[in-house]
Amino acid sequence: MDTVSTNRAFGGTQGVYKHVSTETGTEMTFSVFVPDHAEGEILPVVWYLSGLTCTHANVTEKGEFRAHCAKHGLIFVAPDTSPRGEGVADDAEGAYDFGLGAGFYVNATEEPFAANYRMQAYVEDELPALIADQFPADMSRQGIMGHSMGGHGALTIGLRNADRFKAVSAFAPIVSPLNCPWGEKALTGYIGADKSAWRQYDACALIEDGARVPDLLVDQGTADDFLEGQLKPELLVEVCKEKDQPLTLRMQEGYDHSYYFISTFMGEHLDWHAARLKA
Residue 2 is a catalytic residue? no
Beta-strand relationship, 75-79 and 27-35: antiparallel
Residue 224 is a catalytic residue? yes
SS3 annotation, the chain = CEEEEEEEECCEEEEEEEEECCCCCCEEEEEEEEECCCCCCCEEEEEEECCCCCCHHHHHHHCCCHHHHHHHCCEEEEECCCCCCCCCCCCCCCCCCCECCECCCCECCCCCCCCCCEHHHHHHHHHHHHHHHHCCEEEEEEEEEEECHHHHHHHHHHHHCCCCEEEEEEECCCCCHHHCHHHHHHHHHHHCCCHHHHHHHCHHHHHHCCCCCCCEEEEEECCCCCHHHHHCHHHHHHHHHHHCCCEEEEEECCCCCCHHHHHHHHHHHHHHHHHHCCC
Choosing from 202, 224, 269, 273, which is the catalytic residue? 224
Residue 40: is it exposed, middle or buried by C-beta count within 10 angstroms (0-12/13-18/19+)? exposed
Choosing from 21, 50, 82, 148, which is the catalytic residue? 148
Choosing from 68, 147, 257, 273, which is the catalytic residue? 257
Residue 80 is a catalytic residue? no
**Nearest Cα to 115, choosing from 213, 55, 25?**
25
Residues designated as active site = 148, 224, 257
